[in-house]
Amino acid sequence: MPELRTLLAATDLSPHADLALARAATLARQHAATLVALHVVDHVLGADRAPDNLLRLMFGPGGEVEREVKARAREALAAKLETLDLPPAQRPRAEVQLGAPFLEIIRQARAQQADLVVLGAHGGHFLRKWVLGTTAERVVRKGGRAVLVVKRPPGDSYRRVLVPVDFSATARATLLLTARLAPMARLILLHAYEIPYEGRLRMAGATNEPIARLRRQHERQARARLRALVRELKLGARHPVCLVHHGYPSSVIDAAARARRADLVALGTHGMSGLRYVLLGSVAERVLREAPCDVLVVPPKAVRFTLP
């Protein structure tokens, strides 16, 4: 199973981002991993653009702006890190960068060889680039690394993890990483499906019985494949629950997460479509936005975003 050696937790220093730092510290402690904490000062405050009159009055000209902004951010980040419950040997490393947040997160994830990027779901900063839907989703789309989006105050270990499975290679990798990330959790494997052309079949006069027969056939096959996947990945000792439900995937995932009281949903994404990096259609994007718990998103290995 994949190791968790280095975690990168990005924070905008808001209370919401504190949840991500706390969860990252919990995971670092559990896995004896290195924690790197990153704060990105958005480039509109930095020296890569000519500072406006207000910034000149506040910090002075030219490079003094960059030095002062970074120094103040580093002090604030250091204060946050002092509150984390980590042993001295695992003292987090602090990084402060200027730039576009999602680009610097990706850049640092690569530089630090992070196995997991941890982000908060919302930002309290006035810059809306930290609100889920921009920075977090861009890192998910383009970062090429697993991303954990934290929505809840962390307890100890994850206890109930819902893993949607579409039987792709990425879903398999997601299940392996999830088993490593949450070794004590109850795994709930979920296959959500829709019958292709069901609407057209009904329009063509198909009755409920043949459509129900198609659903039963698909469910039998899906359950058999889930059991085979459990055997292949040697997860039998975890006694995972295997579910197969009909319906639009994001709605099924959301309902199952609530019904099973999952504290984590872990799912894979697709890669590129043309020149755009996209998620699992709209499924992963909706899960990221609507799931009532933390969300782990794992990209396919082939995704590679070229940094500017």
Residues 168 and 95 reside in one and the same domain: no
pLDDT of residue 197: 66
SS (H, E, C) the chain: CCCCCEEEEECCCCHHHHHHHHHHHHHHHHHCCEEEEEEEEEHHHCCCCCCCHHHHHHHCCCHHHHHHHHHHHHHHHHHHHHCCCCCHHHCCEEEEEEECHHHHHHHHHHHCCCCEEEEECCCCCCCHHHCCCCHHHHHHHHCCCCEEEECCCCCCCCCEEEEECCCCHHHHHHHHHHHHHCCCCEEEEEEEECCCCHHHHHHCCCCHHHHHHHHHHHHHHHHHHHHHHHHHCCCHHHCCEEEEEECCHHHHHHHHHHHCCCCEEEEECCCEECCEECCCCCHHHHHHHHCCCEEEEECCCCCCCCCC
pLDDT of residue 189: 98
State which of 104, 128, 150 marks the end of a domain: 150
Is residue 254 included in any domain, yes or no? yes
pLDDT of residue 135: 80
Residues 233 and 286 reside in one and the same domain: yes
pLDDT beneath 50: ranges in the chain: 45-53, 123-133, 271-280
Is residue 65 included in any domain, yes or no? yes
User: What is this structure's pTM?
Assistant: 0.85
Residues 173 and 206 reside in one and the same domain: yes
pLDDT of residue 87: 85
Residues 146 and 169 reside in one and the same domain: no
- Domain of 171 in residue numbering reads as 160-294
Is residue 20 included in any domain, yes or no? yes
Q: What is the pLDDT of residues 70-119, one digit of tens each?
A: 889 899 999 999 988 888 889 999 999 988 888 999 999 999 999 999 99
Is residue 268 included in any domain, yes or no? yes
Domain count for the chain, please give it.
Answer: 2
